[in-house]
Structure 1
């Protein structure tokens, strides 16, 4: 039997394992509905997988496919990961749920790139590119994500609608089965009007969204733990275009923030990929040096993440600055 271990950790650094037939980890977009990943073929799932723990994976973030050997994600997903653990980081594509993540071939990461001025306290410049050790086995040009650029800013307008996608939680307190791939609709908020979190000042390099009610829970559609690094998608005249990368939000996923009098104020903040188009291109083409590189050191830990990486991945309960 295969097992999945959740990598959405509380500050106590706890996690748990269940059999594949009864998977119960960090699954849903808040207010999301099922969708076939084939509709968003550029979606990727990031996970840790250790030779010392066969049949166990640790999903922790999302991403999108730039080409056969490069994945776009959030810097906070991979910040401070020890170099010798990078080879244990894997990428899966074409997976609708946890069972399919086991079934597909998972490709290991070779190099990690994120901006030298990325700030892990403020989450400014929260963008990263992963270089894979080999091409994705089922890659075709259909998988390649279309990124927005500075000439396409039509999404920055009131009431513009976007799609959030991912494998993240139903909400901050509810874990559900199967890691199903889901989507939900959100709406644009001016980033200068969504400074509602202490220590997190938003800028025009970020995109903010607010959600809509979907049941009687008083929550609204939003990203949550497990969704970090995944794409914010805009329908640009029929072309699914990634305009953002899931970055952070309030400690309670999908909770309406009424501090400014708006019961549906921003719940999710994204890195605007158009502001980093040149940097992404340079990382993808190897024109800049990798921030972290895999080494040949053996995994002597028995598959355990180092304390720095665990702590980095565990800081969700404060501001949920890591949706992963």
Structure 2
């Protein structure tokens, strides 16, 4: 027999309406109470009646998830994929469905993917210009932005703690491993995440009074092949680094491959560290030191925040930072 709101209410010792408001993310329910109710609903495998909910709330029960990327993969992407998994799981728990759109053209995404689907709110992932975000504000569509922050009082932004993560990597290389000749491989420094990681790279040099070894090597894309190409350029220099900090694991794995192709040893000759803790990081030889980003939690937090905005249109936007963790492996 399906679990009902009243069943959860009886077990929690609250009213049915309190359970309903908690599952909808209403600000009228205390944060701790909402968390406990959601845990109980998850434990009991509660699934809302979507049609009944839509009729009662005059909401579609649909939220949009738009990711911008210049080329595939989209769902299989090492960042987008786990974020989407977390978002789908959280949305299902709170009685929402997600429609997915992947765009390779920033200018032509808004009307085509979202207005026609009558969504209650939207999440957009990665780098978008302010004009796109302001368009959501103008049309009064609740919005959560993942992996970026812009000047906006209404929208919520979910980001990884890039500065803390990159600083942890650099402190590990400098303080724990004694490296003073560290190169940085990055991509688009206009992207907030990559820019912050590079700033941490520079700041850690200042903190430990170490001169910066070189300008950053800027890859065209964050791909394995680009990691190889950037590292090959580095290896052609007369003065070689003793360590590489790449802005993503994929770039780091490419760099490590190039080092080994030259007959050098990782980490004995050149240590390598990445960022993200993708699945391949633990399976490489040697296993890659990196920062574990909780991408699933980013997706879950985005959905929770969006549903709260849907429930309270006057809610002020905020920045939510998701913690990360330094994972030390054999590559350093």
TM-score (norm 1): 0.25
The answer to which structure, 1 or 2, has the higher relative contact order (CA under 8 A, 6+ apart) is 1
- In proportion to residue count, which structure has more helix? 2
Give 1 or 2 for the bigger CA radius of gyration.
2
- In proportion to residue count, which structure has more strand? 1
